[in-house]
């Protein structure tokens, strides 16, 4: 009778294969967060972008980190109105002039607020363009503007004007 299996009883060799386990992606639930920039640098792999490593700075998910790739719009700078421009303005907490020189090193340690969503691929988070703004801590008291004293008679200051 015939045996099942190879006729030639050679040793079957297996290649040295490292077994890898599939790791899921840790995702931040979509919401508005206070983010602190850990590192930012220009990259051009898929067009002019910034590679921004963000860390959630406050709340339940404090310490969670993700990398975002906002569009810069131009090879040698940051175009006005792009997501990268919005991040610079939010971190500086002021409107920027188009001719202003921007340095990614200035972003490190700065905070801003943005809506964070899951990427279309489901493999990470990103900030939503149009939701990026400066961080304004709720515990910080507003500066009081000194009151201007108004005269008792509103017409008093105009009485001395000859007509």
The per-residue pLDDT for range 66-91, each reduced to its tens digit, is: 999 999 999 989 999 999 999 999 99
The two beta strands, 125-127 and 49-56, are unpaired
- Polymer length in residues for the chain: 163
Q: What mean pLDDT value characterizes the chain?
A: 84
Which residue segment(s) compose the domain that 59 sits in? Answer: 31-134
Report yes or no on 160 lying in a domain: no
- Count: domains in the chain: 1
Residue 24 has pLDDT above 60, yes or no: yes
Beta bridge partners of 47: 45
How far is Cα 90 from Cα 67, in angstroms, rounded to an integer? Answer: 18
Q: Which two tokens stand for residue 140?
A: 């910080």
Q: Is the dihedral of CA 131, 137, 138, 143 positive or negative?
A: negative
Let me know if residue 9 belongs to a domain: no
Q: What is the pTM of this model?
A: 0.70
């Amino acid at each position: 009778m015939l045996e099942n299996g190879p006729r030639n009883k050679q040793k079957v060799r297996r290649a040295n294969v490292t077994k890898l386990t599939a790791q899921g992606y840790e995702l931040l639930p979509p919401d508005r967060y206070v983010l602190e920039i850990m590192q930012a640098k220009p990259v051009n792999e898929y067009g002019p972008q910034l590679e921004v490593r963000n860390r959630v700075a406050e709340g339940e998910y404090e310490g969670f980190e993700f990398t975002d790739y906002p569009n810069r719009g131009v090879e040698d700078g940051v175009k006005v109105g792009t997501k990268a421009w919005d991040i610079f303005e939010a971190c500086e907490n002021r409107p920027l002039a188009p001719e202003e020189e921007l340095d990614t090193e200035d972003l490190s340690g700065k905070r801003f607020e943005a809506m964070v969503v899951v990427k279309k691929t489901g493999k990470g988070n990103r900030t939503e363009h149009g939701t990026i703004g400066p961080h304004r801590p709720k515990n910080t008291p507003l500066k009081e503007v000194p009151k201007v004293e108004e005269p008792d008679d509103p017409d008093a200051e105009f009485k001395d004007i000859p007509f």
